[in-house]
Amino acid sequence: MSINTKRLDRFISENCQINRKAVRLILAQKRVSVNGLIASDIAMIVDQFSLIVMDGKTLQSNQPYYIMLNKPIGVVCATKDEKHKTVIDLLKGKYDEQITSDLHIVGRLDLNTSGLVLLTNDSRWSERLTSPEHKVGKCYYVTLAKPLTSDYINAFAEGMYFSYEEITTQPAELRIISPLQAEVILTEGRYHQIKRMFGRFRNQVVVLHRHSIGQLNLDETLPLGDSRNLTPIEVINITE
């Protein structure tokens, strides 16, 4: 069972400080509803977004949030930082503090990388996006200091071995746009991975910008530093 799900009887027991035997009776008396429906099964599984009401009192009514942010260079993907502005700082004033305190970042970008960042309070959704088995692609536009050749395409497709971590990267797709520009699609997110992969060719990354995750493209009408909620269709379709 996921850490974000639990049995209904356990939820009520923990939240109301009553024993499981008493919970069984409460459910039999039809005093509890889950998502608007009377609940009687003690083994019913609920999650962090289940609306749970007992005797007319709401025990839980959390709302999921899925937010797209256009991250500028110079902002860190962190909840707190003593030196730099964070992505959470960019949300302040637009979202309540209670909401921002529950958010986590889905796939971080480093200080000098711009583009699409996702934030959510739904850990099951973020796990689907970041888990290696789902292989959700993340697309980046890269500007380089030196011209590209077809050798880069093969090297990225084969994966690269990094002795420090003793790992070989997953195959990555590289498409040359112009002599100094490329699009790179990764299905993983190793530390400074794109910069290190181009570093094998002694080619410095000058500009790095993430423009999509899965089927979700950065909203080009969204100004740098601004954010918006994802639509229900975007939330569902991102991993399709």
Based on the residue annotation, tell me whether 110 is a catalytic residue of this protein.
yes
Closest to 50 (Cα-Cα) out of 58, 60, 42, 41: 60
Tally of CA atoms within 13 A in the half-sphere of 144 that contains its CB: 26
Q: Is 88 helix (H, G, I), strand (E, B) or coil?
A: helix
Q: Where are the beta strands (DSSP E) in 91-145?
A: 104-106, 114-120, 138-144
CA distance 201 to 180: 13
Number of H helices, E strands in the chain: 8, 17
Q: Which of 110, 122, 151, 219 is catalytic?
A: 110
CA distance 97 to 93: 8
Residue 68, sorted as left (phi over 0), alpha (psi -120 to 50) or beta, turns out to be: beta
Single-letter code of the amino acid located at 108: R
Residues annotated as part of the active site: 110
